[in-house]
A and B are shown apart, each in its own frame.
Chain A
Amino acid sequence: MLNQFAFIGCFLLVALTFGIAPPALAWLFRPKKPNPRKSQIYECGMQTHGETWVQFKAQYYTFAIAFVLFDVEAVFLLPWALAYNALALYAVIEAVIFIAILLVGLFYLWRKRALEWM
């Protein structure tokens, strides 16, 4: 048991060295001559125009959450649909109840005007 953990310990050490060594060596040996052009961001996205502290509309998140909800529903329903022919009536009713609960949620969102962009 302990031997196996020692193996994991060695592995961890090797992994860490492997990750840390190249940047450390590069930092040691590379020439250090910065100039403004070199300090620019390179392939790290666009340079920002104007204020960086932009505020996003929080309403976006209600859409995102509703989307995730139905996304997960699809994930659950896929295996159910694939095994549909082999399933008992019981499983079909369960899935219908599951969809019905989510539909109540959608109905609620709609009636509470969470789906309107304000």
Chain B
Amino acid sequence: MNNGFSLGRVGAMVRRYVYLLRSSVPRILDLVYWPLVQMLTWGFLQTYLAKAPAAGPIAGRLGLAAGALIGAMLLWDILFRSQLGFSVSFLEEMWSRNIANLMMSPLRISEFILSLMVMSLIRLAIGIVPVSLLAIWFFGFNLWGLGLALGAFFANLVLAGWGLGLFVSGLVLRYGLAAESLVWTMMFLMLPLACVYYPVTILPPWLQVFAWALPPTYVFEGLRALLIHHEFRGDLMAEAFGLNLVIFAAAVIGFQLMLENARRAGSLLQTGE
């Protein structure tokens, strides 16, 4: 009998989430809908600003023609959707009152977390790939053209999304579906602080300290450096990666603690809608 880590059990959970996703066309469409709406909104805004006569030299300095706005929007969506992809799969278990079945099964927490990560990537791919291709067609912005830099941006953003997703899922596990709204809203706390659409130097100095504590800040600064100055900032990516590892490890510990807390409170048998 296999008492250790089992990829078979990870595969079983991923299979379940794929079945769940496949069973609902509206949910599949939802994965594409918001990224598409966002891409069109920011893409047209960028086109307008780049072409506005008064904006001329400023637009050039801001890298609008190079796609700084639409690029930032697409990367923000990778961050947000990776967290949602993780947390929504977890919420599916809570909505269906299935969490006790899982916790009573041989499934290990590490296997559960890995399956949520895999599912996050699948959901992310469904949403981002078609929208990024449409961005080429509509606005001539090729996210894939960022090459290896995109890989570094992607890895750091997804890791940050998983860290937050894991932490929020722990809160839902501990406090039940009363904490569900955090899944949908907590990432937006990061939107102003991670400096998605503007450089960190815009923030007051005291707030910059908090901004630099967030791994996505390094990614968005790195994107602007690449698009405006044509420079890949490997140092920023390395710092973001180190920070991500620390935050993800803290999220894993936090999730474990909240699971223990839920077991202590007896709430694993009481969760549900």
A interacts with B: no
- Give the interface of B toward A (CB within 8 A): none
- Give the interface of A toward B (CB within 8 A): none
